[in-house]
């Protein structure tokens, strides 16, 4: 089983250090500690285990260290910044693992950019040694990239010439969309093994500055201090993120607020969210509650459950969301989050909710939400209704509630809310929904407003739900993944939707082609001294 829970005392590949308002996150990969076994993590190359630690560190920096305004990414290996994803791991991993690995690393890097954009925690990449492939992609997430000018340190994306694959964590898209690199120069850069260094790297916008070795350490420190000085992080104590309480059974995964039942015969998992038992009295009580505050605790548990299902239960192609609790309590929690938006901790909680709901959107499973008697799909929790491919509601006592959090703070990767995405081209429908904030919307009202797919009475409910779930589980998993990925993200393109929708879709295909993964392909022959043999037919 792949476990996504960790904490700094268990890190094998990253080191955290703190100096006033600056943190240093040093990549120092232990070659002898691969996640899957059977390969060495040489030259600061990484696998999923390395990225699990990175994701944990990024989250802890945001919640546990409000004093940190800048984070320096650097290497603990004198010879190399990072050699990228470990090639032996890619060569031996299953197709599903490779794709989920790319997806998770993309989500982790987007979380870094989210911290830069919204948390007042800016990242600085200090590249000493080669930054190749995924190593340079990691640097690309930073606000500012520094490269030591020592004639051996360079940046490169050599995946195409060396491995017959593409940069898998957004490299191509960040070059053009984020760094605004000319596409002809990007073409040259991505087909050259040796990479680019020195002044050309600055001219081509691959890095922001090059620094001579004699001034390197002082320049990195000064740049980090300057970035930290622009931060609005308040300082003071943070909150500790304790290990999640989780029980994994044969057919279940249970947390205090999230209960997952695995139905392998039906090829589905039921994910039940339990609403809050109480509401803090105010901001001081939120801080006192720390990581036990319901929206934070629930989001962390749901995130862990989603990742567990992705990597450890690949044959469960249908997720069924349910909820239990008092919707008034959920709305009261939302009210606190809306009232105290200027508080750093509240801001981080809402940003975490946003990232977790994005993880839902990006999960390659069919999503069905059932709104039943006793449900508490209200406000922020109602995002699971709008994220679903289908949502059905029982006529009777069941109700759906909206809050201001449904209309802005929790956008999808396309920078639209789920309601804006749902009602693309229908601004009147958005206005009609906004006018009902706080109301208990019965099934027929919710259906008339377009907030759910269908409403069924108690006579039809069991049979209609059964038919929906059985039919969905019977379809081709590949075709459903394509259908859902196409339909979930209408509207404008963003760098994030391009990364997932284009790059990983092409990478998914390329990872199945013999030029990359066949017995005579690049991933299998890399390092053997034997050149790969390519099928030259264009498909």
CATH number at residue 20: 3.90.226.10
512: enclosing H helix or E strand: none
Predicted confidence at residue 538, as pLDDT, reads 87
Residue 536 in any domain: the answer is no
Residue 498 in any domain: the answer is no
Dihedral, CA of residue 223, residue 229, residue 235 and residue 240, to nearest 10: -30
**Tokens encoding 507:** 């990478």
Q: What's the full length of the chain, in residues?
A: 539
Predicted confidence at residue 507, as pLDDT, reads 82
Cα–Cα distance measured from residue 354 to residue 347, given in angstroms and rounded to the nearest whole number: 11
Q: Is 272:320 a contact under the CB 8 Å cutoff?
A: no
pLDDT confidence band for 506 (50 / 70 / 90): confident
Cα–Cα distance measured from residue 256 to residue 300, given in angstroms and rounded to the nearest whole number: 11
Distance, CA of 103 to chain centre:
8
Are 81 and 222 contained in the same domain? Answer: yes
Are 264 and 217 contained in the same domain? Answer: no
459 phi, psi to nearest 5 deg:
-70, -40
**Tokens encoding 251:** 């057919």
Distance, CA of 242 to chain centre:
20
Average pLDDT of 141-152?
96
Predicted confidence at residue 339, as pLDDT, reads 97
Listing DSSP states for 369-382 in one string gives EEE-TT---BGGGG
Cα–Cα distance measured from residue 488 to residue 522, given in angstroms and rounded to the nearest whole number: 34
Buried b (16+ CB within 10 A) or exposed e, 394-410: bbeebbbbbbbbbeebb
**Tokens encoding 64:** 């546990």
Cα–Cα distance measured from residue 356 to residue 375, given in angstroms and rounded to the nearest whole number: 20
Residue partners of 466: CB distance under 8 A and separation at least 6:
none
Residue 346 in any domain: the answer is yes
Are 292 and 201 contained in the same domain? Answer: no
**Tokens encoding 240:** 């500790």
Q: Is the pLDDT of residue 480 over 90?
A: yes
Residue 400 is classified by DSSP as B
Cα–Cα distance measured from residue 250 to residue 252, given in angstroms and rounded to the nearest whole number: 6
Residue 195 in any domain: the answer is yes
Are 349 and 448 contained in the same domain? Answer: yes
Cα–Cα distance measured from residue 225 to residue 69, given in angstroms and rounded to the nearest whole number: 9
Q: How many CA atoms lie within 13 A of 29 on its CB side?
A: 26
Nearest partner of 138 among 63, 29, 227, judged by Cα = 29
Are 211 and 105 contained in the same domain? Answer: yes
Are 462 and 331 contained in the same domain? Answer: yes
Q: Is 523:517 a contact under the CB 8 Å cutoff?
A: yes
Predicted confidence at residue 130, as pLDDT, reads 97
pTM, full prediction:
0.96
Predicted confidence at residue 175, as pLDDT, reads 96
- How many distinct structural domains can be found in the chain? 2
Are 326 and 464 contained in the same domain? Answer: yes
Q: Give alpha helix (H) positions in 65-206.
A: 87-92, 95-118, 134-140, 159-163, 171-173, 183-190, 198-203
Cα–Cα distance measured from residue 124 to residue 140, given in angstroms and rounded to the nearest whole number: 10
Predicted confidence at residue 151, as pLDDT, reads 86
Last residue of a domain, one of 184, 201, 229: 229
Strand pairing category for 247-248 and 258-263: unpaired
Dihedral, CA of residue 134, residue 136, residue 140 and residue 144, to nearest 10: 150
Are 154 and 95 contained in the same domain? Answer: yes
Tell me what the pLDDT averaged over the chain comes to: 96
Cα–Cα distance measured from residue 499 to residue 210, given in angstroms and rounded to the nearest whole number: 28
Q: Give alpha helix (H) positions in 237-339.
A: 283-289, 294-312, 327-339
Are 450 and 419 contained in the same domain? Answer: yes
Distance, CA of 403 to chain centre:
25
Predicted confidence at residue 34, as pLDDT, reads 97
Residue 162 in any domain: the answer is yes
Are 198 and 320 contained in the same domain? Answer: no
Q: Is 389:473 a contact under the CB 8 Å cutoff?
A: no
Residue 504 in any domain: the answer is no
Q: Is the pLDDT of residue 505 over 90?
A: no
Strands (E), 361-488: 366-371, 390-394, 454-456
Nearest partner of 510 among 160, 171, 89, judged by Cα = 160
Q: Is the pLDDT of residue 508 over 90?
A: no
Are 307 and 406 contained in the same domain? Answer: yes
Distance, CA of 69 to chain centre:
22
Residue 119 in any domain: the answer is yes
pLDDT confidence band for 236 (50 / 70 / 90): very high
pLDDT digits (tens, 9 = 90+) for 382-407: 999 999 999 999 999 899 999 999 99
Are 174 and 263 contained in the same domain? Answer: no
Range of the domain at 424: 247-487
Predicted confidence at residue 429, as pLDDT, reads 98
Residue 318 in any domain: the answer is yes
pLDDT digits (tens, 9 = 90+) for 429-470: 999 999 999 999 999 999 999 999 999 999 999 999 999 999
pLDDT digits (tens, 9 = 90+) for 267-311: 999 999 999 999 999 999 999 999 999 999 999 999 999 999 999
């Amino acid at each position: 089983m792949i476990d996504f829970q960790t904490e700094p005392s268990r890190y094998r590949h990253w080191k955290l250090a703190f100096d006033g308002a600056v943190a240093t996150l040093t990549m120092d990969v232990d070659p002898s500690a691969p996640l899957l076994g059977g390969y060495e993590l040489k030259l600061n190359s990484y696998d999923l285990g390395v990225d699990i630690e990175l994701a944990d560190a990024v989250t802890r920096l945001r919640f546990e260290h409000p004093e940190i305004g800048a984070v320096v990414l650097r290497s603990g290996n004198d010879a190399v910044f990072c050699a990228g994803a470990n090639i032996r791991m890619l060569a031996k991993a299953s197709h599903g693992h490779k794709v989920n690995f790319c997806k998770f690393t993309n989500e982790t890097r987007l979380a870094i950019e989210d911290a830069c954009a919204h948390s007042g925690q800016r990242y600085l990449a200090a590249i000493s040694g080669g930054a190749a492939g995924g190593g340079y992609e990691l640097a690309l997430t930073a606000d500012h990239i520094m490269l030591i000018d020592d004639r051996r340190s360079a940046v490169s994306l050599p995946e195409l010439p060396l491995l017959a694959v593409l940069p898998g964590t957004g490299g191509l898209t960040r070059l053009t969309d984020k760094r605004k690199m000319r596409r002809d120069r990007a073409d040259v850069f991505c087909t050259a093994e040796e990479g680019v260094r020195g002044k050309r790297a600055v001219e081509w916008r691959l890095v922001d500055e090059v620094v001579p070795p004699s001034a390197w350490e002082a320049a990195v420190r000064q740049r980090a201090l300057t970035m930290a000085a622009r931060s609005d992080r308040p300082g003071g104590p943070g909150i500790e993120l304790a290990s999640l309480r989780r029980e994994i059974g044969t057919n279940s995964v249970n947390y205090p607020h999230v209960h997952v039942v695995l139905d392998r015969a039906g090829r589905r998992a039921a994910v039940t969210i339990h609403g809050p038992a109480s509401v803090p009295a105010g901001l001081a009580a939120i801080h006192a509650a720390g990581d036990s505050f319901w929206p934070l605790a629930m989001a962390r548990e749901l995130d862990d459950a989603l990742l567990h299902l992705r990597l450890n239960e690949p044959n469960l192609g249908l997720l069924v969301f349910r909820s239990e609790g008092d919707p008034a309590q959920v709305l009261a929690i939302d009210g606190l989050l809306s009232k105290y938006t200027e508080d750093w901790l509240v801001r981080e909680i809402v940003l975490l909710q946003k990232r977790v709901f994005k993880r839902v959107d990006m999960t390659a499973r069919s999503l069905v939400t059932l709104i039943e008697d006793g449900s508490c799909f209200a406000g922020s929790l109602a995002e699971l209704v709008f994220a679903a491919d289908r949502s059905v509601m029982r006529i009777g006592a069941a109700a759906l509630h909206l809050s201001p959090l449904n209309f802005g703070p929790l956008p999808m990767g396309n920078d639209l809310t789920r309601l804006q995405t749902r009602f693309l081209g229908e601004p009147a429908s958005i206005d009609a929904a906004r006018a009902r904030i706080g109301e208990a919307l019965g099934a027929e009202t919710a259906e008339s407003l377009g907030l759910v797919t269908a409403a069924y009475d108690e006579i039809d409910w069991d049979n209609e739900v059964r038919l929906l779930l059985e039919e969905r589980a019977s379809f081709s998993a590949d075709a459903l993944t394509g259908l859902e990925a196409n339909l979930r993200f209408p509207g404008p393109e963003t760098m994030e939707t391009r990364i997932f929708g284009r790059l990983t879709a092409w990478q998914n295909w390329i990872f199945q082609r013999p030029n990359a993964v066949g017995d005579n392909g690049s991933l299998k022959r890399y390092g053997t001294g034997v050149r790969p043999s390519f099928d030259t037919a264009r498909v």
